[in-house]
Amino acid sequence: MNTNAELNDSSSRDEIQSLSREALECLQLEKLNSLLAQILPHNQFYRDKLGSRSSLNNLQELSDLPFTTKAELLAENGFAKNLTWPTENYVRFHRTSGTRGNPMAVLDTTEDWQWWMHVWQYVLDTADISSQDRCFLAFSFGPFIGFWSAHDAIVARGAMSIPGGGLSTRSRLDLIQTSQPTVLLCTPTYALRLAEVAQENAIDLRSSSVERIIVAGEPGGSIPSVRSRIEALWGARLIDHAGASEIGPWGFANAEQTGLHVCEAEFIAEVIHPETNHPVSPGDSGELVLTCLGRVGSPLIRYRTGDRVVPTYHGTNGFVLLQGGVLGRADDMIVVRGVNVFPSSLEEIIRRFDSVTEYRITAFKEGEMDSLSIEVEDTSGNVDQIKDAIQVGLGLRVEVILADANSLPRFEAKGKRFIDNRD
């Protein structure tokens, strides 16, 4: 079990990130075989999937193992099926957001939760969090795991955690002013929402105490126009992070803020073509598949995340870098008159315009063809400039509709700005 002193010591994490690819894969193989040895005698889900395959000779053999999907994890009682131990061995209950189907309960043992704390330290390293920091968590603190794990990781680091649950946006802004945090944690959507309400109430966020903003839950943190807009509104540095309730806190920003590193000390990353299941070449787009190496109580092997990413191995450390972070969901892609379009590509263009306060994209069928419409709250009243920018950027003409002020939904957690009505 990791002690607080070990969590605060970044030298071992730096050492792992400087390993050669060969040495890193040896470490991953050792951890994977240790995981298999621990879970297979007890974990019925993976005994059924893997049979007698209790160890691998090399990482290339990982591709012989079957994928794990979210659909097969969900049991009728709403719990994940991949539990290694009886439920009385678990101390943490959290649940997926349910944005793509029914919510699923995931459980962690005391040891698993310590593993979460350990992996979160890579994110906190990137954000330069020290015991002198005060961290404001603008989150409801419901069953979603993200900022419960952040809260405990911050406390383990010796920094102050300021919970912002149960408050309105205006009240959170008041608490930020009085508690003087140096770090804000929220979704990209909510960082923009806080800024919108601050402007409505003549609050100058650029003069606030907030110096850094850690975001997660959406692609926005690695989308240049979204990142630069949040940084401009807050006068603060933005740090992207990615994770999921069922798999863990797998991604942290690189130094140049061009994407996300997969924490390969604790995860094995594969990027596959979503239709052929074959590995993609570095620089090509594919679906991220992760194997978790340290969560014994709720293990996942070759888990198809559904996230579209572009891998490269020329980052600032030895871990694989996903250029642009998570670019979107693999199943969100639509083909409009022969052009492949992801919602994140549209957001990158829309957020270039400071006059845009909110937007919503709707996909629908026009005969047998996919079509798009975009509603935009734009204080300039000129949506033609957005339409023209989309045509130049994507080579696509789409309908852009000027929406009334404050008519589109606002979000505290993950923004739901893409409505798929094609079915």
Whole-structure pTM value: 0.86
Element (H, E) at 19: none
What is the distance between the alpha carbons of residues 136 and 184, in angstroms, rounded to a whole number? 5
Query: In the prediction, which pLDDT does 387 show?
Result: 92
Residue 233 half-sphere exposure toward CB, CA atoms < 13 A: 26
Query: In the prediction, which pLDDT does 148 show?
Result: 93
Q: Which residue has the tokens 């957690």?
A: 413
In the chain, CATH 3.30.300.30 sits at: 333-420
SS3 assignment, position 94: strand
Query: In the prediction, which pLDDT does 5 show?
Result: 59
* Residue among 243, 290, 300 nearest 84 (CA): 300
Burial pattern 156-189, b for ≥16 Cβ within 10 A else e, equals bbebbbbbbeeeebeebbebbeeeebbbbbbbbb
Element (H, E) at 254: none
Structure tokens of 121?
């330290």
Query: In the prediction, which pLDDT does 4 show?
Result: 61
Query: In the prediction, which pLDDT does 377 show?
Result: 95
Domain at 1-329: CATH code: 3.40.50.12780
In the chain, CATH 3.40.50.12780 sits at: 1-329
Q: From the CB of residue 256, how many other CB atoms can be counted at a distance below 10 Å?
A: 9
Query: In the prediction, which pLDDT does 139 show?
Result: 85
What is the distance between the alpha carbons of residues 321 and 341, in angstroms, rounded to a whole number? 23
- The answer to whether 262 and 251 are in contact (CB under 8 A) is yes
Query: In the prediction, which pLDDT does 278 show?
Result: 95
What strands, in cross-sheet order, belong to the sheet with 303-309?
Answer: 267-272, 286-292, 303-309, 328-329
pLDDT along the chain (423 residues), means of 10: 63 91 95 96 95 90 95 90 96 80 89 97 96 94 86 96 93 97 94 94 97 90 90 97 94 89 97 93 95 98 95 81 88 73 86 93 81 92 93 87 93 82 79
Strand partners, 399: 373
Domain at 333-420: CATH code: 3.30.300.30
